[in-house]
Structure 1
């Protein structure tokens, strides 16, 4: 008997203003996995995440979550299903405090009911945020803002966390810290889909991965298999 994937994308076509960017994308995420979607800038990775989140309207194909079609649903409906995205641009409320930004992450009824405990969990995961709980988000460093963006997503009590370029703009040590945090979040039981240009560290972290080029999946396999692939090494690892 086959098991149902948590997220199933079949032959997805999507884009902007009638111009197709994704040309028949197939991708699955099983519950409990870390799945990576890697590729160069402009390959279509962010468009994929936006289609999953309901921000970009699909032009064809299917996006199913726990067996239900979610293509065409509004973003708030997708969040209520348990899919929460961490956007590349962070999209914080810079004039509000760290605490206020975190509380705004708890949008569903269940998340609002539990936000007293989840904010404490966020502070345990990121002690720096507790130290700066009353500081305006716009005055924080880039690394601190990225912590806040991730913590705010966790306030939504997701089942599937979609990370879009979480290492963007971070210093090398902070990149290592961020990947360590993602591993810790996954170990707590969360399923993760991570979109990244940092191919080496992402595939080392992932159970499975997909390589995207020009809006198409060109290769897939375990993280180790992709790291051993000659084409991946030449194209993305600078060897």
Structure 2
């Protein structure tokens, strides 16, 4: 299977990719989640009401997805038990409106379950074998213990930012903060024109006084952040900008 994280797919596209008849109507593929050839597929709305009128309050918390099963589902049902087992392959597709195509969020792992009805599961994509550009550089701990005070080496994974994705995001939403309307260029001049700001970001708070060199650092850091947040064809991250 060659599903690409962040790409949009109709159900027909998914059927074709899986070698199924493209014109399938009804059945388990239209019930929200199912098992197919040993893998599990989830189709959900995020902060949206489905065609049946149900709004399960599915939402992203950071990079994780808080998802709820079907009405009256419980943590004890066989399909839920199987999906949350370690090693289960769970592929998540989501959309913000029932008229849109689904975006592929990636291969997920259950990190927390909620004994309620409908059942709730917090899905993480951090272990997806396919890199996610929205994840920040992570520190990889060395495998060997070190003596107190000794020199040690720390390896860092850095995932490439996509300048095309950044441009698409800024072309669509602009550089103004969607929460408070703040723009760097209006406050600090042309040096930071084209940078985007995050009201809730802690990055800028740690940079100290706004000298010229600091402004260049802010410009570079927010350019990376904007790229990170628009990879999912602009829409997924707008509420977090």
- Specify if TM > 0.5: no
Larger Rg: 2
Ranked by relative contact order (alpha carbons within 8 Å, sequence separation 6 or more), the top structure is 1
Q: TM-score range by the shorter chain?
A: under 0.3
Higher helix share: 1
**TM-score, length basis structure 2:** 0.23
Higher strand share: 1
